[in-house]
Amino acid sequence: MNIPKAQCPALFITAPGSNQGKTTITAALARYHVDQGRKVRVFKSGPDFLDPMILERACGLPVYQLDLWLMGETECRRLLYEAALEADLILIEGVMGLFDGEPCSADVAELFSVPVLAVIDATGTAQTLGAIAYGLANYQPKLLFAGVLANNVASPRHNDMIQEGMPSDLHYFGGIPRDNRFVLPERHLGLVQAEEVLDLESRMSAAATAIASTRLANLPEAVEFTAPEQETPPQLLSGIRIGIARDTAFSFIYAGNLDVLQAMGATLVFFSPLADIALPDVDSLYLPGGYPELHLQTLQDNLAMKSALQTHFQQEKPIYAECGGLLYLLETIVDKAGFRGEMVGLLPGHAIMQNRLKGLGYQSAPMPGGVLRSHTFHHSLIETPLTPVAFGERVHNTSAGEAIYQLNRLTASYLHGYFSSNPTATAQLFLP
């Protein structure tokens, strides 16, 4: 059997850990090559929502996850193969450190034979950076290691010292200077959303200019990607119109989830709980996660939208709410400053924002139609008299999983589901 194949230059951008500058460098690389007239497809390893927003702005195309646990090898392989058919360059940003997690970034890079670029923050180090790079390059011998890029280099002399300590068999692509123009602002769940960074274009352009002075200005070697055997999702949502909340308060949406809903026949209609005063004409609703706690006054004051959601619920139409969407449907949200916002009130209870992370990790979510692979990441706690219908099951059973609530046709949880992991279970959430 002849398996379809496609070749495309590709690079996997990783680091020894978080906060080394992976997203900044990946965005800079993408923007640099786009500016050269190339079509660049970017992927994000792991379940993150915020980094892809920045990367989409950098390359001008949707950014998909590559997550072996959430989506499986077949879906990852399909996305890479289809990207290779159309792109001049594929970039994959890793998650955390190269070997952190199960599966980890190195597993993704090795499985698809994508060479690894290690971005290492040079702050507070010089020749020792070479030892760190040597460890990354040799810890997993089968990994294809393209080389090293130093980030936050203080001066030309600092760069020389880094190069002096680099082992002769490791390729040093050069250093990116320390410059506040490159830094991407952060808040409690990660990077500030791309739409909210008003000078994002100038930040990315400045970083792209810095890339031009490194050896990364040249395209990496081509990688061969193969097409997987795959099944077309069943047309379970044919004729169903799904209203999806999408604005700066509700923006944590996997691009792959939208594709699955459309592949099953659904028509997607977007609306803004912040700005709109009525729901579109839809059969079902999807309220994704985001930052409702940053928009309490606006959400509280939009009485017309709250009333429209209550009417939709009373008509026994399906609603699926994840994380921030769950909080919005409670009676109130209390932010870190103590301000209490009156929310929709479909679910009894209250959300209280916390100063520390209160939920993190992969979980299998037993939804009404089957198990969805999911992820949780939140800084709030909820108080509700509702009894959960089920709980997520953690990959590593270190503590109780997230509660899943059901009230009539409303299903809500802190969990962010990945729809391609079980299209049939997904469809049951939205079918009237």
Quote the pLDDT of residue 182.
64
Catalytic residue among 8, 59, 76, 323: 323
- Name which of 161, 279, 201 is nearest 35 in CA terms: 201
For residue 188 the two structure tokens come to 């409690």
Radius of gyration of the chain from its Cα atoms, rounded to whole angstroms? 22
For residue 151 the two structure tokens come to 């980030």
- What's the chain's average pLDDT? 93
**Calpha distance 23→19 (Å, rounded):** 9
pLDDT surpasses 70 at 188? no
What are the residue boundaries of the structural domains of the chain, listed by start?
7-225, 241-430
Q: Among this protein's residues, is 104 annotated catalytic?
A: no
Average pLDDT over residues 15-31: 94
Average pLDDT over residues 236-263: 97
Least reliable range by pLDDT among 162-166, 186-190, 265-269, 276-280: 186-190
Average pLDDT over residues 388-401: 86
Confidence band, pLDDT 50/70/90 cuts, at residue 306? very high
- What CATH number matches the domain at 7-225, 3.40.50.460, 1.10.260.40, 3.40.50.1460, 3.40.50.300? 3.40.50.300
Q: Which CATH architecture has domain 241-430?
A: 3-Layer(aba) Sandwich (3.40)
Quote the pLDDT of residue 380.
93
DSSP helix/strand/coil, 309: helix
pLDDT 10s digits, 200-242: 888 888 888 999 999 999 999 999 999 998 788 899 999 999 9
**Calpha distance 288→374 (Å, rounded):** 13
One fold for 7-225 and 241-430: yes
pLDDT surpasses 70 at 329? yes
Confidence band, pLDDT 50/70/90 cuts, at residue 399? confident
pLDDT surpasses 70 at 194? no
Average pLDDT over residues 177-191: 72
Least reliable range by pLDDT among 268-277, 300-309, 361-370: 361-370
Report the percent of the chain where pLDDT is more than 90.
Answer: 83
pLDDT surpasses 70 at 190? no
If one counts every other C-beta atom within 10 angstroms of the C-beta of residue 109, the result is 28
Residue 44 pairs in a beta bridge with 65, 93
pLDDT surpasses 70 at 134? yes
